[in-house]
Amino acid sequence: MITGGSSGIGLSVAHDVARRGASVTLVARNVSRLEKAQQEVELTMSKLSMDGKVQFFSSDISGSVKNISEMVKNAEASLGPVYMLINCAGFARAQKFEDLSPDLMKQMLDINFTGPMVLTQEVVRGMKVQQEGGVVVFVSSQAGLLGLYGFSAYSASKAAIVRAAEALHMELKPHNISVTVCYPPDTDTPGFVEENQTKPIETKLISEAAGLFKPEEVAKKLVDDSLCGAWSSTVGLEGFMLTTLCAGMGPITDAASFMAQVFLSGLFRSVSAFYLWSFTRIVEREHKKRLENKKSE
Ligand SMILES: NC(=O)C1=CN([C@@H]2O[C@H](COP(=O)(O)OP(=O)(O)OC[C@H]3O[C@@H](n4cnc5c(N)ncnc54)[C@H](OP(=O)(O)O)[C@@H]3O)[C@@H](O)[C@H]2O)C=CC1
Ligand SMILES: CCCCCCCCCCCCCCCC(=O)[C@@H](N)CO
């Protein structure tokens, strides 16, 4: 089951798991985008002669618990128990702190945090009863590992889901259900194009430090990592440094990541000083530019 499966990273995940033989349930709100995604994923399956099925449900993950619960029941009635849940639906709006409306703050928390929590509750109940195990994935963001200019509410919503996932990881261990958090950098998706229309220049320039990736690449890494039971998944050098530096009290799922955290955290903290310095320079430069523009007006 993939929320946000009709676009961007979620749609790429759908193609990826379809190629590996899975049947897929896509969840999003807009029906015509869902229909289009269903056809595309079916095509991927038929090209490889896979006999998986693709179904979709139009549902708002931040909607009523009753609707979410019914959606999960219906999905499982037709395609069987959910083995893998990928919480990808979400959105970002960048705005200077004092310009953020309470409505937008609430919307980001509802869709990026509360929605995935509620849906995961519904799915996990089923996974536990079936006792065969399962995989839960939350798509956070590199901006969930640090707060950055313009992303106060967004970063908070994406950080909140990480702490929740940590707790859930501990709870689900005995049930053979793994939990993975994915931290994408900027990724070339329809959602990214939309957020860029209103993004402050500072947010844009700071985010660029981690590069721009293709959704297919983020999706493949997400599926590979989560099927291995890895706690975290990311792409790129900055992604590696950031997840290593921010490992904190997160679960230890593989020796290589643990060793990297033990031996490289000090070094990466030093490296972070250079990034932070360059971010401060961006913010100060743009601030000065604005002041000068005002003066000349
Ligand atoms: N692209 C990027 O640069 C990055 C993205 N991310 C995260 O990755 C995830 C996917 O992003 P991306 O692929 O860019 O986004 P897109 O906007 O391209 O796709 C978002 C998907 O989520 C669905 N969706 C949004 N809100 C809801 C809702 N309330 N209920 C159900 N479905 C919903 C959308 O469908 P519909 O609107 O029809 O409901 C769509 O299918 C997000 O959580 C985002 O925060 C993280 C880091 C970087
Ligand atoms: C050793 C320390 C290394 C530090 C590297 C720091 C790099 C920080 C870059 C932050 C990138 C944030 C991208 C957010 C993308 C996102 O979530 C939006 N596009 C939403 O869609």
For 176-212, how does the pLDDT look when each residue is reduced to its tens digit (9 = 90+)?
Answer: 999 999 999 999 999 999 999 999 999 999 999 999 9
In the predicted structure, residue 130 carries a pLDDT above the cut 90: no
Number of domains within the chain: 1
Q: What percent of the chain has pLDDT over 90?
A: 98
pLDDT at residue 84, rounded to an integer = 98
pLDDT at residue 266, rounded to an integer = 98
pLDDT at residue 204, rounded to an integer = 98
List residues bridging with 85 in a β-sheet.
136
Q: How many CA atoms lie within 13 A of 273 on its CB side?
A: 5
Active-site residue flag, 275: no
- Which atom of ligand 2 is least distant from the CA of 91? 21
Active-site residue flag, 66: no
Reading phi first (left if > 0) and then psi (alpha if -120 to 50, else beta), residue 95 is in: beta
Alpha carbons 33 and 29: distance in angstroms, whole number: 9
Atom 15 of ligand 1 has which residue's CA nearest to it? 191
What average pLDDT does the structure give for the chain? Answer: 97
Q: Is 94 in the pocket of ligand 2 (CB under 6 A)?
A: no
Determine whether 248 is exposed, middle or buried from the number of CB atoms within 10 Å of its CB (0-12, 13-18, 19+). Answer: exposed
Of 142, 13, 29, the C-alpha closest to 86 is: 13
Q: What is the mean pLDDT of residues 260-273?
A: 98
pLDDT digit string, tens, across residues 43-87: 999 999 999 999 999 999 999 999 999 999 999 999 999 999 999
Distance 122 CA to ligand 2 centre (A): 31
Which ligand is nearest to the Cα of residue 57, counting in written order?
1
In the predicted structure, residue 115 carries a pLDDT above the cut 80: yes
Q: Of 6, 59, 157, 158, which one is the catalytic site residue?
A: 158
One-letter amino acid of 161: I
pLDDT confidence band for 297 (50 / 70 / 90): confident
Active-site residue flag, 158: yes
Domain of residue 217 covers 2-296
Q: Is 62 in the pocket of ligand 1 (CB under 6 A)?
A: yes
Q: Output the domain CATH number for residue 146.
A: 3.40.50.720
- Which atom of ligand 2 is least distant from the CA of 269? 1
pLDDT at residue 79, rounded to an integer = 96
Q: What is the mean pLDDT of residues 119-124?
A: 98
Q: What is the mean pLDDT of residues 167-179?
A: 97
Atom 19 of ligand 2 has which residue's CA nearest to it? 186
Distance 235 CA to ligand 2 centre (A): 11
ipTM of this predicted structure: 0.99
Which ligand is nearest to the Cα of residue 94, counting in written order?
2
pLDDT at residue 89, rounded to an integer = 98
Is pTM beyond 0.95? Reply is: yes
Atom 10 of ligand 2 has which residue's CA nearest to it? 207
Contact criterion met (CB below 8 Å) for 15 and 217: no
In the predicted structure, residue 245 carries a pLDDT above the cut 80: yes
pLDDT at residue 132, rounded to an integer = 81
Alpha carbons 123 and 135: distance in angstroms, whole number: 10
Q: What is the DSSP string of 73-130?
A: HHHHHHH-S-SEEEE---------GGG--HHHHHHHHIIIIIHHHHHHHHHHHHHHHH
Distance 179 CA to ligand 1 centre (A): 20
Q: What is the mean pLDDT of residues 260-280?
A: 98
Q: What percent of the chain has pLDDT over 70?
A: 100
Q: Of 7, 141, 149, 154, which one is the catalytic site residue?
A: 154
Distance 142 CA to ligand 2 centre (A): 4
List residues bridging with 179 in a β-sheet.
136
pLDDT confidence band for 232 (50 / 70 / 90): very high
Q: Is 93 in the pocket of ligand 1 (CB under 6 A)?
A: no
Distance 5 CA to ligand 1 centre (A): 8
pLDDT at residue 37, rounded to an integer = 98
pLDDT confidence band for 160 (50 / 70 / 90): very high
Q: What is the mean pLDDT of residues 246-266?
A: 98
